[in-house]
Amino acid sequence: MIFGAGGGLGAALTQALCADPQCAAVHAGSRRRDLETPHSKLRPFRFALEDEDSIAGSIRDALQDGPLHLVLVATGLLHAGNVQPEKSWRAISAANLQEAYLVNAVGPALIAKHAFAALAPQTRVVFGVLSARVGSITDNRLGGWHAYRASKAALNMLVRNFAIELAVKQPRAICVALHPGTVDTPLSAPFQANVKPGALFTPQQSAEHLLRVIDGLEVTRSGTLIAWDGSTIPF
């Protein structure tokens, strides 16, 4: 099940999973637009991050195909309209902070709240959320981008919390935050000028990287932030 399948990376993940013979059904949800890639395995749905009922209802519907083995949250907000990454604390506003937290932390937390009960029991299952290297407090050397950094750091803490609880309730479940690298999507488009050669991935490349990482995950890595190349990024 994928939340955020209408975005560039979410759409690429959806396409890759539909092509995977191990996947019997792919429930793919979009917040703003209908999905454009028809497939016999595809089960499209609409949801809103601020509407918990829409999240819970979509998960109940997905259970008609059986319990979930993989849940990916591919939503995220860096800039949109008046929301822009702050270069200074002088640019901080309550409205931008609230919007960033809603999309980057609150929404994924609500998805987790309902998705965990739908995970297949007594087997290896994965719940993954797209985070970012800039959400690492330890790795922060530049400052700025206050709302985005802080909301992703909050998401990372939620992942750690969830992993601890899941370890008790469902020992074979894995809960991770995933850093996809810099992906050539509208989210990163205004900030690609300083990306090193070879470090800008197409959505398809990033989806391939992330699914390879997910396939190789061990339960010992639950509760961590993992980059597209499989390395661990400190929180």
Q: Decide which of 162 and 6 is more confident.
A: 162
Tokens representing residue 164 in the block: 């601890």
How many contiguous H segments (helices) and E segments (strands) does the chain have?
6, 10
In the chain, domain spans: 2-233
E-only strand ranges, 47-181: 70-73, 125-130, 173-179
Least confident of 44-48, 76-80, 135-139: 76-80
Which CATH superfamily is 2-233 part of?
NAD(P)-binding Rossmann-like Domain (3.40.50.720)
Cα–Cα nearest to 10, from 47, 62, 51:
47
Residue 169 has pLDDT above 80, yes or no: yes
Assessment of whether the complete model's pTM goes beyond 0.85: yes
Q: What is the per-residue pLDDT across 207-222, written as a single tens digit (0 to 9) for each?
A: 999 999 999 999 999 9
Query: Between 107-115 and 146-169, two packed helices, what is the crossing angle to 10 degrees?
Result: 10
Q: What is the per-residue pLDDT across 187-196, written as a single tens digit (0 to 9) for each?
A: 776 666 667 7
Cα–Cα nearest to 131, from 234, 12, 34:
234
